[in-house]
Structure 1
């Protein structure tokens, strides 16, 4: 955009050099800043924003108002005079209207009332002339040209003043902006003055509501900014007549360009000033950016506001046109036939459209044009094919609204769009009666002559046979429909998803006669537009307002995290749920923000997505301590895992890959699986959110089908991930799997996806993949026992010992290979203490206190310590010496509520009974 501006090189757009007017601008009559589009040069004439010019313009507007008001009054008087004259003549001649107008002597030219009416009629003509002249003199943004080839001889240079292309409200705002600076003795009108003037406007308040911005905070920043501008002007030492800053000139020129870029042939409105304010607004831009108000958001928001205005106008226009359509299903030629049976098993969608009961629909314009083209081409019917939730039924509702307003091609005009419920039609236990109802309904449709039949999920008709009263099966429903359609008596619109269309419809007789129109899932931009059309209904129902970011976040998160549904349906469901939640928690007339949307999605998938709040921020920064609260030692592993989780939570990771890929290597029993459980608990909410696969079960290449699944059985890997895409994927004993099976995970760790046996792409981008292995740990333990430090032998172990088990390209896919060191006796003591604390918590639920002496902990640690198997023998030791004895006491009733149980040295368990009450 910046390259389109031409700025005076001498004054840099200020209009003054020091205290004197710019000689370049003043002598040549040029403006300090121009907008260049092709051979056309645009400028805003700021000479029209002076006290004298503003006063003159406002006086002329007031004079115009007085003249027009006077002419309106004269026109009203003329109508009264004419009515009184007609009343007199009707009484005098004793005639009835309207035939009385033709009676002899009804019109008397010499009558004073009629003469006065004719005089007022002349003033009416003058009023019409004034309106026509005003419209003729009205200036609009020039229409954008889309010429493929340049005009012969080239385009002639033109200099265009855009001042009059700003609508009345926007001109008033610009004048108020000037007076704000002028009255407060500023030397320069800058974007901050414009921003301050814009804020009180209703449309601006709507923009701030939609963006979730506190107007008071913005006002405070503007005041401080204006004070800073005044301070800078006072200390600059430069004094000159009030001028307009280069940034403000660019804003007005870009506002013109925004309208031109949307097609032109319109006025520059208030909303068009907001976008350039966020792009070239100088200090005003910095204020907006500080509040996260960016130009692209404002551009979408301006389209949203215009969309709401256009929809209101469109709905009103449609309702006006639809009033001419019969409420009883009769066409204009009065040839339509009554449809008694059809009415009982159908719904007239055009009638609902006429009543305004259908929500507005946007998007799929190309597919709507295809519908018109196909019907105009002589087709008997069409079938809309697309995934569930992409808007096939919404397109039919939009068509109904167009038909109600007669804004359709001639072949669809003067017709009703009727939705047939096949399930209701065929319901009942008597096949003969069902057959009769169906034939009657289709017969009525064919003979009505003004019906377009809509059949949702038309594949349900294929292969369904009807039975005659004799019990013999006759032709199928689809064949009956095909026979009637071939007669050309009515049109049909059906819908089907891809799978059903291919399986049932495509090769059937119905598929041969219906033209197929594919309805794709809308892209991000189109989905947001569709939501903007539907959001007013959700807002009205729950009495809340949606911030624009909430709509974007709903589309973004649903695209990223919800793969079982399609747009726009899945985003609409999120918005409906979050609106109900916010209205319930915070009450009516509150703003739904992107954080609210993220919280709702977080609850659905058990994954943190909302904006990081203070409490969670502290938790994330102290993640190592959080993990170590119930996990002993392995500091390096905990540190690396914590860093990966912080990157993911701050959205700094590559979102095309899994959240993190870790390889945990170490001897058995050192805490590899336990650390994976802690990650699942902290990041995904529960250690149950973990998919565990024992890779030792996949030592043969043929076992790959068990992972991916077959046509009859789901995969052990693909199905759990499809159902729970937000969890830890634990690949236990990785080194025992077949080498080619490991190759499957190369694509998963790189691209975050895998294709199942059914051809479905499974999303792995929201998993943390943790693979555990004992590979090479025997050598590792030997070196550690010889006194080597883990930090010193880590690189050697990865580059030499692990390569005996895994290929280099496979190891390179891991974000980190974490080596777990063997546990010491001190570590085992701490682990023993954690296990005993867990036992105490479970006993506390039964009302029993459990206490352990330090000597008892040490003894259990020594009993359960085995350098070869890590902490695993410890659990068996505690189970044998503590849990078995406690279980016996509980079952025998030796211990009860309020009792205290002591575990002492020598494994002795002592019970201190509570005093009787």
Structure 2
């Protein structure tokens, strides 16, 4: 098969080596005029010149004659008239080996049922895009599709070829190579039916009923019941097909540092993608404060330094289009970055510097910000004091602590003043408020941190650590709202872990020992318990 964007010449009589000669003669642009006449680089008919046969391929069929220069030509309807000539060879490797279809129940793919595709139509067929998987090679695409067999149920695929710098549409043998037919087939794809890197095995309804998402998330997060409940509701809608398939899920987490915003994003990724590391993408937006760093975000355009490196976001989304993406401290990003995000949130796709479109409607985007942290904390303290005075129990629903009226009157003006774009805020599914920890929650955090190190001591050194609530209360005194849970973690490290390490170094404690933590003269002290047998 041999094609150009200006001329389409049927060459079904060519042997594989002759077709390869045609492609090789045109790749560098030197022999285009000869190739369209069926002549190779040496001026002789394709496949008959010295070195014109690929290793292992058959010689030219006797009686074969090159196509006449007056052979009828056709102009693909999707190709721009001004496009430069492009050619490629597909369907066989250099060694002459064919492709075996592993799905005998489905027609196979070959290089004889392809056509150029206008870049403007790529978005209409985005779920057919296999550019990344096929490494931007039409030849690889044909082999990949045959190798996939029944795993690729679609009759069409599209790919951007680096060799010809052109988009191509491939159709399964027997399928109509028609753009309208491909668009109609694309519309019939149900969410999740196209091949993606998202986790294939979804949690069963029975499992979700036994262990609801709220309980799963609460295992790793202290407090923040309102944020957890709202997040779980949105994910549950998505799991059961009660969400928009045209847009990704977008959250904005607001609150001070160290109170669970990042951790909740991690827990969501763990639930959705389990142990798949590609399922969680974290980007520190403080690294994208300048306008020129937009190229680092989505990739540099052609001709600019870093073009081949790709963007930090786009190259990761290609690996897992359904990932949970965390934009940490989004308020620090340059406005041009927010423009990119707005388009992504609105259309569910992102175009990189190479012009390739990444479909990300299945992704979950989480932005965190410290904006309005003082206003959120002050209102939480005020409402909690009011509830306590009235003898009411705090349940921490989002509406109970931060009312919609307060959010609209106080918090939203702060967000609008910073982002300066109502449409950006309007594309967010949920704006969630993370509240400062209560005294009870701080004690829980201290207990959990000491317990973590107790388990480490047991596992690594066969030591047992015991402590009372006095130690937890002492550690909680070091709590700093500016650093949240990190201030408790640091205090446990200074007061507990450092003393255990020093005692171990001096052989005061060792394997099989029981160490009891206590407080004396305003510091943590260690004493020995009964030695383990």
Q: Into which bin does the TM-score normalised by the smaller protein fall? A: 0.5 to 0.7
Q: CA deviation at 1:817?
A: 0.3
Match of 1:480 in 2: 42
SS at match of 1:651: coil
Q: Which SS does the other structure have where 2:105 is aligned?
A: helix
Map of 1:707 onto structure 2: 297
Aligned match of 1:855 = 470
What is the alpha-carbon distance in structure 2 between the residues aligned to residue 662 and residue 454 of structure 1? 52
Moved more, 786-795 or 556-565: 556-565
Residues 1:901 and 2:515 aligned together: yes
Cα deviation for residue 632 of structure 1 reads 0.9
- C-alpha distance 848-606 of structure 1, shift in aligned 2 (>3 A): farther
The aligned residue for residue 189 of structure 1 is none
Which structure has more relative contact order (CA 8 Å, sep 6+)? It is 2
Q: Secondary structure at the match of 1:629?
A: helix
Contact 2:21/2:47 (8 A) holds in 1: no
CA distance change for structure 1 residues 641 and 559 in 2, over 3 Å: closer, same or farther? farther
Shift of 1:751: 1.4
CA contact (8 A) 1:852 1:904 kept: yes
Match for residue 749 of structure 1 among 345, 355, 358: 345
> 1:648 Cα deviation (Å)?
1.9
Q: Deviations over 1:96-129 (max 9, x none)?
A: xxxxxxxxxxxxxxxxxxxxxxxxxxxxxxxxxx
1:492/1:713 CA distance change after superposition, 3 Å? farther
Match of 1:804 in 2: 417
What is the aligned partner in structure 2 of residue 642 from structure 1? 232
Q: Is 1:455–1:492's contact at 8 Å kept on the other side of the alignment?
A: no
- Report the TM-score, using the length of structure 2 for normalisation: 0.63
Task: Name which of 851, 863, 872 aligns with 2:486.
Answer: 872
Size of the alignment, in residue pairs?
Answer: 400
Cα pair distance change 1:834/1:570, threshold 3 Å: farther
Question: Given the superposition, is the C-alpha separation of residues 533 and 675 from structure 1 closer, same or farther in structure 2, using an over 3 Å criterion?
Answer: same
Using the TM superposition, give the Cα deviation of residue 609 of structure 1 relative to its aligned residue in structure 2, in angstroms.
Answer: 4.0
| Residue-by-residue CA offset, 1:610-635 (whole Å, 9 max, x unaligned) | 4725334423xx11111111211111
TM-aligned CA distance change 1:607 to 1:849, over 3 Å: farther
Conserved 8 A contact 2:282-2:327: yes
Matched, 1:674 2:263: yes
Query: What pairs with 1:109-258 in structure 2 (closer than 5 Å)?
Result: none
**Structure 1 residues 686, 838: CA separation in 2 closer, same or farther (over 3 Å shift)?**
farther
CA contact (8 A) 1:840 1:850 kept: yes
Query: Counterpart in 2 of 1:276?
Result: none
Determine the structure 2 residue equivalent to 1:564.
133
Q: Please give the alpha-carbon distance, in whole angstroms, between the structure 2 residues aligned to 1:868 and 1:782.
A: 13
Match of 2:105 among 533, 537, 540: 533
Equivalents in 2 of 1:614, 1:760: separation in Å? Answer: 40
Flag the 1:915–1:672 CA change in 2: closer, same or farther, 3 A. closer
3-state SS of 1:479 partner? coil
Residue by residue, what CA displacement relative to the aligned partner does 1:136-184 show, whole Å, maximum 9, x if unpaired? xxxxxxxxxxxxxxxxxxxxxxxxxxxxxxxxxxxxxxxxxxxxxxxxx
2-structure distance, mates of 1:605, 1:894: 52
* Gap regions ≥5 residues in structure 1: 1-366, 383-411, 421-452, 466-476, 494-505, 520-528, 537-555, 578-600
Aligned equivalent of 2:148, options 546, 564, 573: 573
- Mapped to 2, the partners of 1:830 and 1:892 lie a distance apart of 32
The answer (yes or no) to whether the contact 1:690–1:728 under 8 Å persists in 2 is yes
Query: 1:914–1:455: structure 2 CA closer, same or farther, 3 Å change rule?
Result: farther
Structure 2 CA distance, aligned partners of 1:668 and 1:560? Answer: 40
Q: Which has the larger radius of gyration?
A: 1
The counterpart of 1:662, out of the listed 236, 246, 251, is 251
The offset of 1:716, in angstroms, is: 2.0
Deviation sequence 1:446-480 (CA, Å, 0-9, x none): xxxxxxx5549944895699xxxxxxxxxxx9513
Tell me, yes or no, if the aligned pair for 1:664 and 1:818 is still in contact at 8 Å: yes
Which position in structure 1 is the counterpart of 2:206? 614
Deviations 1:563-592 (A, max 9, x none): 624589448527589xxxxxxxxxxxxxxx
Aligned to 1:625: 215
Structure 1 or 2: larger helix share?
A: 1
State whether structure 2 residue 379 is matched by structure 1 residue 790: no
| Per-residue Cα deviation, 1:306-329 (whole angstroms, up to 9, x for no partner) | xxxxxxxxxxxxxxxxxxxxxxxx
Summarize deviations over 1:180-229 as a string: whole Å, max 9, x none.
Answer: xxxxxxxxxxxxxxxxxxxxxxxxxxxxxxxxxxxxxxxxxxxxxxxxxx
Match of 1:771 in 2: 367
- 8 Å contact from structure 1 (residues 608, 684) kept in 2: no
CA contact (8 A) 2:330 2:369 kept: yes
RMSD: 4.6
Q: Please give the alpha-carbon distance, in whole angstroms, between the structure 1 residues aligned to 2:208 and 2:107.
A: 31
CA distance in 2, matches of 1:507, 1:831: 66
Match of 1:490 in 2: 64
Q: Tell whether the 8 Å contact from 1:606 to 1:685 is kept in structure 2 after alignment.
A: no
Partner in structure 1 of residue 288 of structure 2 = 698
Contact 2:299 2:314 in 1 (8 A): yes
Change (3 A) 1:700 1:915: closer
Cα distance in 2 between the residues matched to 1:611 and 1:562: 30
1:826 maps to 440
TM-score, normalised via structure 1 length: 0.38
Shift of 1:915: 5.2
Alignment CA distance shift 1:849-1:681 (3 Å):
farther
User: In the alignment, is the contact (CA less than 8 A) between 1:665 and 1:773 conserved in 2?
Assistant: yes
* Superposition deviation, residue 749 in structure 1: 0.8
Partner of 2:355: 759
Cα offset for 1:638? 0.1
Alignment match, 1:816: 430
Alpha-carbon distance, 1:895 to partner: 4.1
Change over 3 Å in CA distance of 1:836–1:458 after alignment to 2: farther
| Secondary structure of 1:888's aligned partner | helix
The alpha carbon displacement at 1:726 in A equals 3.4
Alignment of 1:72-471 (within 5 A): 381=11, 419-420=16-17, 453=18, 455=20, 458-459=23-24
CA distance in 2, matches of 1:712, 1:774: 35
Contact residue 375 and residue 411 of structure 2 kept, 8 A = no
Separation in 2, partners of 1:765, 1:612:
22
- Indicate if the aligned counterparts of 1:825 and 1:862 stay in contact, CA closer than 8 A: no
Asked if the contact 1:602–1:609 (Cα under 8 Å) also holds between the matched residues in 2, the reply is no
Could you say if the C-alpha distance between residues 765 and 456 of structure 1 is closer, same or farther in structure 2, counting changes exceeding 3 Å? Answer: farther
- 2:280 is the counterpart of 1:718: no
CA contact under 8 A between 2:198 and 2:321: conserved in structure 1?
no
Question: How many angstroms apart in 1 are the aligned matches of 2:22 and 2:528?
Answer: 71
Cα–Cα, structure 1 residues 490 and 629, in superposed 2: closer, same or farther, change >3 Å? same
The 5 A counterparts of 1:50-89 are none
